[in-house]
Chains A and B, each alone.
Chain A
């Protein structure tokens, strides 16, 4: 048996290796050959894509920052659709055999073929600076949340970036918080005057609840700076954690309080005198109406509950 000259001096593992290398790189090469596509990309870029995908929901990309050809950083200044959806040469092959599925292209969303990590890597390729560098390993990252689950990249106005629509996006998963937005005492999220990102940074992991500031109190002081102090007479746990007494997502009780005074106050105060007294329905109108219970309850007298700067305000009553 004659041996091929080319094969002379080569062993069978080499054939396997060469074949392997060719196979690994085959799709782009083959695609380029079959339809004249360039390096695995489609033949005419966006024009190729739009010849099939001409729905308004897709074409609206041109009304977004991503669809801008002048910005050197925008996808459309580069490989157009294929900047994000990756090389679509195989996908854009003109003819597929009957019954054969068109090869998939990179797509986005919770139910996309492209794995979530792969989707997000594409977005982070440009937006690493926009999201927090601590995204990697953050709660949303580990929960397989893709960027496209929250962001509508093709929509002229991304809902999650609108103050008055963002919460509806977040509530898709955070259902308990949506219910809380209907409670009698709330922040104005449901009315569109605040958004979830007013308090939370969904891209990071540096705080336990993805807070937008270093601590919960620093966050609250953004809008409630009058409670920041320092005060001459401090109500000790107040500067440490507002959530000891308030539930920011909503409460059945006024002022977002977690429980109803006077019992809320009596969970910490059992001093000699009136704090130790058990108040009952006897303190209501019709019996012996009591200022310890009615109106502002304990805060009727201790009205400087967040701290007092009055030299005589040691009991937070001045």
Chain B
């Protein structure tokens, strides 16, 4: 029985707690908050920025993604149109680079809290080469022929009609994307979304076709469309949520083959070759995502996604060589089918205030259900091959993650974890691999001026015995260990430190050091090292912000081969280096009218390959690129809503690439190339525009 005094105590305590608690939790009477100073916008606003861009020179690389690939003047405009309705309607139209081939425009709006609509259109120009040349006629079509006077020969140097037949050719393509999406909230916790996206890729890319030991480069027309639809319905309660989703993607290639007339002396019947192109395909996936909060600090989330991919493009014949044609195909099309399964289960709990525990399971399975058949293939439309069977590739990856973290101080946390990946693959030299990774991480933050993190991980991969998979005629050196299957030890240490010596100055240093060792590999990749370091700083001096960043990266690798098809008798040391320096400042409100900004970028990359063949060392010429880029912009406000912008952008890009340099169409006896060169350009761009707001 509770003593009287104690019962009074409890009642009073409850009353006090209830009274003060309810007072504290009570919502204010916002009808007494008129918000007189709140400047809620209404009506329409329009910003237009229109002007002229002048480009000094042609350049494929400068023009790629920007649309400024040709010398001359371009009209350009940016637009922003905003509308605020009284009833919560809100719409925004944004247009950018409307005069260029990199234009994009979007419209977003709706009634806030009820529905939202979005539509966008974007163009991405990809200019690859502008100085290439080809003797082929019918560029842009699926059938390439040679001029009537073409003189076939055994090597390019003997193609006497080549020089007079070469025509200039631009290589590149445009991607156009049209998207619409909608979100609807019938009531607060239910959200319905739909998104549709249509991609078109139109243009050409470098392609090539071989006839036994000779090969010709040409361009393949690209006329791709991809349609993607995503639907989702989600219910989000306080303690749980559930989402159902659909993802569908359909790819269509309006080109179904590519024929070319061989410029070399043809083998009997092999004056024309035929290549396959990317087949139409589709993929559909249904997903169920859910989350449940057992208690305030324990959450279970999961996702199950079941997908199905199909490809049933009608097969081309084995060959277009009439002397070898006639072999029946085992079926009219592949009737290819792949089932995918993705699972993610994740339990996150903070059993005590500072400690968190996470357990996770993931599955990534590709079950290739395509049937196996025998194919009496023809070697490059020239010779009968052997009978081989296709190998529908499947894999099944199970991943496990366990981690624990402990928050020592407000912004300091220690974390440790173990990752495990078990992969089973079909038709591979190694059926299973197992990878274990242990990691530890410390995230620190002292006051508000020092923060950073450091992480160390050690990973080990091994697996089942290697087996010989070779089909007839393609025997692999039994000592080869492919790098995605081989035993591997990987150690990585990385971190970042950010310091703020004074309020207006930030310095940040970050670095990564990684080492891969393929300890049981004799042929193949044997080791790889990666180092990257960055120094980044920004300082504010009065109204001026100045910033700079320098990054250096080195990637080294060693690999062995065997030309005797026995033990290693050659090796290579490859070293890629990369340096980038960015400097700039922004100076706003000079004389209350002028904004000035400058960005300078210097980038250098290099690649060195040293070969050691039976003790004789030799090196490839250095692969190199250098970029100097300077951008200067000045905005001058004529009036409060009118601004003139002047800009200057200079880029100087030099590159050396032994795979392209000096390779004209006739340089390589058995390769008729397009004569693509490594990119080099110096381009100056001047911008003058007027911006006005209504």
Contact = CB atoms under 8 A, between A and B. Distances in A.
B125 to A, nearest CB: 9
Interface in A278-299: 278-282, 284-286, 289-291, 293-297, 299
B143 interface: no
Contact of B337 (A111, A142, A230): A230
Given A79-B27, A80-B30, A191-B66, A280 B611 contact: yes
Contacts of B576: 252-253, 259
Contacts of B523: 270
A175 B533 CA distance: 9
A12 to B, nearest CB: 11
Nearest to A130: B191
A45 B33 contact: yes
A291 B276 CA distance: 21
Contacts of A226: 224, 251, 253, 278
Interface string B333-350: 010111010101010100
A122 interface: no
Interface in B251-299: 251, 253, 274-276, 278-279, 281, 283, 289, 291, 299
A13 B658 CA distance: 87
Given A136-B299, A317-B210, A281 B619 contact: yes
A59 interface: yes
Interface stretch (B37-45, B49-57, B160-168, B586-594): B37-45
Contacts of A232: 315, 334, 336, 370, 375, 390
Contact of B32 (A29, A44, A207, A233): A44
A69 B35 contact: yes
Contacts of A233: 390
Nearest to B301: A134
Nearest to B276: A310
Interface string B299-324: 10101010001010101111100000
B27 to A, nearest CB: 7
Contact of A129 (B206, B241, B443, B668): B241
A45 B28 contact: yes
Contact of B36 (A47, A110, A178, A295): A47
B112 A68 contact: yes
B580 interface: yes
The 4 tightest CB contacts between A and B, nearest first, are A45-B33, A179-B551, A226-B278, A25-B20
Interface of A: 9-11, 13-14, 17-18, 21-22, 24-25, 28-29, 32, 38-41, 44-47, 50-51, 54, 59, 62-63, 65, 67-74, 76, 78-80, 82, 110-111, 115-116, 128-129, 133-134, 136-137, 142-144, 163-164, 173, 175-176, 178-179, 182-184, 188, 191-193, 205-207, 214-215, 218, 221-223, 225-234, 236-237, 239-241, 244, 252-253, 259-260, 263, 266-272, 276-282, 284-286, 289-291, 293-297, 299-301, 303-304, 308-315, 317-318
B113 A73 contact: yes
Main secondary structure of the interface of B (DSSP, over half): strand
Given A191-B66, A276-B562, A291-B670, A214 B37 contact: no
8 contacts: A69-B38, A134-B291, A137-B356, A179-B578, A230-B337, A268-B484, A270-B523, A301-B215
B446 interface: no
B545 interface: no
Contacts, number: 469
B69 to A, nearest CB: 13
Contacts of A10: 5, 8-9
A21 to B, nearest CB: 5
Interface string B433-475: 0000000000101001001010000000000000000110011
Contacts of A263: 559, 572, 574, 609
B445 A144 contact: yes
A165 B636 CA distance: 23
A271 B476 contact: yes
B29 interface: yes
Contact of A21 (B20, B96, B241): B20
B477 A17 contact: no
B620 interface: yes
A229 B618 contact: no
B164 to A, nearest CB: 22
B283 A221 contact: yes
Contacts of B578: 179, 183, 252
B127 to A, nearest CB: 12
Contact of A294 (B358, B480, B671): B671
A182 B5 contact: no
B378 interface: yes
A269 to B, nearest CB: 7
A28 B37 contact: no
Contact of B217 (A51, A70, A111, A295): A295
A318 B380 CA distance: 7
- Which range holds the interface residue count of chain B? 35 or more
B627 A294 contact: no
A259 B574 contact: yes
Contacts of A312: 318-319, 375, 377-381, 385
B553 interface: yes
A53 to B, nearest CB: 10
Interface in B582-637: 582, 601, 603, 605-607, 609, 611, 613, 618-621, 623, 625, 627
Given A142-B415, A270-B562, A311 B663 contact: no
Given A222-B228, A222-B249, A289-B663, A280 B299 contact: no
A271 B475 contact: yes
Contacts of B391: 234, 236
B88 interface: yes
Contacts of A28: 23-24
Contacts of A32: 23
A294 B479 CA distance: 28
A62 B410 contact: no
Given A28-B24, A229-B336, A232-B315, 12 more contacts: A10-B8, A25-B20, A39-B25, A39-B26, A80-B33, A215-B342, A215-B364, A232-B334, A267-B482, A276-B562, A295-B671, A309-B311
Contacts of A21: 13, 16-17, 20
B33 A280 contact: no
Contact of A300 (B337, B477, B671): B671
Contact of A311 (B23, B206, B329, B413): B329
B411 interface: yes
B249 A309 contact: no
A131 to B, nearest CB: 11
Given A17-B13, A45-B28, A289-B669, A206 B344 contact: yes
B667 interface: yes
Contact of A234 (B29, B392, B607): B392
B489 interface: no
Contact of A268 (B313, B379, B483): B483
A56 to B, nearest CB: 10
Nearest to B471: A314
B275 A291 contact: no
A43 B563 CA distance: 85
A294 B663 contact: yes
B469 to A, nearest CB: 10
Contacts of A143: 443, 453
A200 B484 CA distance: 24
A193 B64 CA distance: 11
B65 interface: yes
B534 interface: yes
A301 B562 contact: no
A314 B40 contact: no
B313 to A, nearest CB: 6
Contact of B625 (A193, A252, A260, A304): A252
Interface in B421-443: 425, 427-428, 443
Given A18-B13, A28-B24, A73-B113, A67 B241 contact: no
Contacts of A74: 112-113
Contacts of A285: 661-663, 667-668
